[in-house]
Amino acid sequence: MGKKSKTSEWRSPGKYTPCSIGGQALLEGVMMRGATSTAVCCRDEKGELTVFTERSAPRKKWYHKTPIVRGVVSFFSSLVMGVRYIGKSAEVYAGDDEEAQLGKGGMLIAVLLALVLAVGLFIVVPGVLNWLVIDLLFDLDVRLSSSMYILVMSLFKGVMKVLILVFYLFLTSRLKDIRRTYMYHGAEHRTINCYEHGMELTVENVQKCSTRHARCGTTFLFYTVFLSVLVMALVTWLLSLAGLTTAGLQAAVGGAGQLLYNLIIMGVGLCCVPVIAGLSYELLKLVAKAPDNAFFMIFKAPGFALQALTTKKPEDGMAEAAIVAFNKVLEMDADPSVPAVDFYEMTMKDARAFLAKKYAEAGIDDESEIDWMLCAVLGAKRTELPHIAKLTRAQAEKLKEYAAKRAEGLPLDYVTGESDFYGIKLKVNESVHLPRMETETVALAAAELLKGGKGSRALDLMTGSGCIAAVLAEQTDADITASDISDEALAVARENLPERVSVVRADVFDGIDGTFDLIVSNPPYIRSGEIDGLQREVICQPRISLDGGEDGLAFYRRIAAEAAGKLNDGGHIVLETGFDQAEDVKALLEPHFKDIKVIKDLGGRDRAVAATKR
């Protein structure tokens, strides 16, 4: 195998086209920022990704366009926003531990501490070391000429700053949590590199790309250190021309002159920070756009070398988080109508995409169900869905809970606990057979037979959820009885039916008192041997509501034999049937009933048999 080129690890495959999206590694997540939007994607303690997004005004002000000035603005805004987004990621990282989360006051303190740390490490410490080593230990401020002293002092401070930077980065990379942040930093770079090199944003492609990037903040830090040496050398030289030297101050104030001189230099250095930041920003932009030729690699190589400390090979899950954040910024920058969301909220588009993915993985091929699940979660009508932009955290969590249950094969109505039957909202659970649209045909046929008959009595035999009895109660003034053998089913029916409906326990007609003008029933009619081959959404329903015996006609035989004795003269019976059972049921009814007819459902299939007592 040939030796790998040193520069190959700085490059990603494909033709390079730069983009304006930048990012930052956070606590168990990544921030990406585009022209008008920012997205933060973090992984919570459950291993799930959650996204925070917000919009920002386009950077079109004069101070966003003026060289140097724009760098100063970018430096301070990046510092403030960086700490803020770390605070946002801490909301996910800390979970419910409110003490571990940063409030506004905490973020302000964090920004100030970051500034103090930066000033202390890169201005105060090098200044103190210079005073101790150059001035006190070797007396170079006295022994050297002014120009030579400035050169030596600048070189010494520059070396100290670089060593401090490298040591700081090396030390932090040894810490477990910080190392994971550096891995997310690598994921951020790889994702941007993947996009800039024209590759599809998949985890596999992202992991092929480099963890180094020319626009990295680590490179900016190096440029800041490098330029601070040059700027401070220039400033110190100008001050010497103005007569401000160690010797001059010693002559004026005595032995304190050395300390006073170093304090002045440190103060001037602090004042130069914005200028140095602005110059570093411009240099970073220039070098980032430059080709990887020998000349510009002189400027890129130090930053790339330092990135070996601040970027690590990411896990696939980290790459996934970076991709999600990047894609969200692309989407929001392209479409101003996309709403901003807080962690654990969802845009309607994302909610639909989430459900579509879950349904596809579970092998559920019913796109309309996505709408109905959203309606259940949001408490909205289907026509209202296009006007809803996003889901709250509580709604999004409920959606995920519902989707997980549905993916396991639980019917949607069991998942939501509700069923719609002819416009009537019914409570349902796994104790009852789910109402079906086809059964509406049966209920309406029964209601039609009762209309006009004041004082009529009707029996909904094997009522289950009470769906047929609910339609009869809504459509007629009849005295209605609903019966079932299951106590659990009867409890559900009582919730769904008005008080005027009598709910009783009975085994077919055993336990039923009196006679009726109408008997309606949707009995179990599936053949025993066919049940296990049905869809999982059907199999999970109570077997007692499905199993009609070997030929599916067991309950029809009992009903046909006993129903006439429970009907008044001229009374009617309406029985739901399987699509291929109507003729068999007709034959069973013929000994005791007349005017027997088959009723078809809206799909044109045989759905019920109606008859009149002889």
**pLDDT tens-digit profile of 99-124?**
545 555 554 555 556 556 766 676 67
For residue 572, give the nearest of 476, 456, 462, 468 by alpha carbon: 456
- Nearest one of 59, 58, 89 to 74, comparing CA atoms: 59
Chain-centre distance for alpha carbon 325: 10
pLDDT, residue 130, reads: 73
Task: Single out the residue of 385, 65, 451, 387 nearest to residue 399, CA to CA.
Answer: 385
SS (H, E, C) 560-583: HHHHHHHEEEEEEEEEECCCCCHH
Q: Which residues contact 418 (CB under 8 A, 6 or more apart)?
A: 376, 425, 426, 427, 428
pLDDT recorded at residue 237:
81
Among positive and negative, which fits the CA dihedral 355, 356, 361, 362? positive
* pLDDT for res 234: 84
* Of 134-143, 176-185, 471-480, the least confident: 134-143
Look at residues 28, 22, 21, 31 and name the one whose alpha carbon lies nearest to residue 84.
31
Of 450, 436, 498, give the one whose Cα is nearest residue 478. Answer: 450
Tell whether the model's pLDDT for residue 7 goes beyond 80: no
Instruction: Please classify residue 258 by burial: count the beta carbons closer than 10 Å to its beta carbon, then call 0-12 exposed, 13-18 middle and 19+ buried.
Output: buried
Which has more pLDDT, 404 or 240?
404
pLDDT value of residue 157: 77
Highest mean pLDDT among 134-148, 186-200, 248-262: 186-200
Over residues 157-166, the pLDDT tens digits come to: 778 888 888 8
Does the structure show a pLDDT above 90 at 483?
yes
Lookup: tokens for 36: 């008008």
What are the domain boundaries of the chain? 10-122+137-334, 346-408, 431-613
Q: What is the pLDDT of residue 141?
A: 61
Which range, of 121-125, 152-156, 593-597, averages the lowest pLDDT?
121-125
Least confident span in 243-252, 327-336, 451-460, 602-611: 243-252
pLDDT band at 453 (very low <50, low <70, confident <90, very high): low
pLDDT band at residue 351, thresholds of 50, 70 and 90? very high
Q: Give the confidence band of 531 by pLDDT, cuts at 50, 70, 90.
A: very high
Under a CB-based contact definition with an 8 Å cutoff, are residues 64 and 56 in contact? no
Q: Does domain 431-613 have CATH number 3.40.50.720?
A: no
Residue 452, CA atoms < 13 Å, CB-side half-sphere:
2
pLDDT digits (tens, 9 = 90+) for 548-579: 999 999 999 999 999 999 999 999 999 999 99
Higher-confidence residue of 94 and 360: namely: 360
- Indicate the average pLDDT of the chain: 89
In whole angstroms, give the CA distance from residue 390 to residue 74: 31
Q: What pLDDT does 525 receive?
A: 98
At residue 473, the pLDDT reads 97
- Helices of type H across 476-604: 487-496, 536-539, 554-562, 582-589
Q: Encode pLDDT of 27-37 as tens digits.
A: 899 999 999 99
Mean pLDDT for the stretch of residues 145-165: 78
Place of tokens 């930041």: 277
Residue 131 has what pLDDT? 72
Confidence (pLDDT) at 532: 95
| DSSP helix/strand/coil, 542 | coil
What is the predicted pLDDT for the residue at 563?
98
Question: Does position 66 have pLDDT exceeding 80, yes or no?
Answer: yes
How many other C-beta atoms are found inside a 10 Å radius of the C-beta of residue 147?
Answer: 10
Axis-axis angle for helices 217-241, 294-310 (nearest 10): 110
- Checking if the pLDDT of 8 tops 50, the result is no
Percent of the chain with pLDDT over 90: 66
Burial 426-448 (b: 16+ CB within 10 A, else e): bbbeebbbbbbebbbbbbbbbbe
Using 50, 70 and 90 to split pLDDT, how confident is the model at 182? very high
pTM confidence score: 0.76
Helix 348-362, helix 368-378: angle, nearest 10: 130
Number of neighbouring beta carbons within 10 Å of residue 465: 28
Residue 89 pLDDT > 80: yes
Rounded average pLDDT over 277-284: 94
pLDDT bin (cut points 50, 70, 90) of residue 241 is confident
| Burial (CB count <10 Å: 0-12, 13-18, 19+), residue 265 | buried
Residues 295-345 have pLDDT tens digits of: 989 999 999 999 999 999 999 999 999 999 999 999 999 999 999 999 999
Q: Bridge-partner residues for 573, per DSSP? A: 519, 611
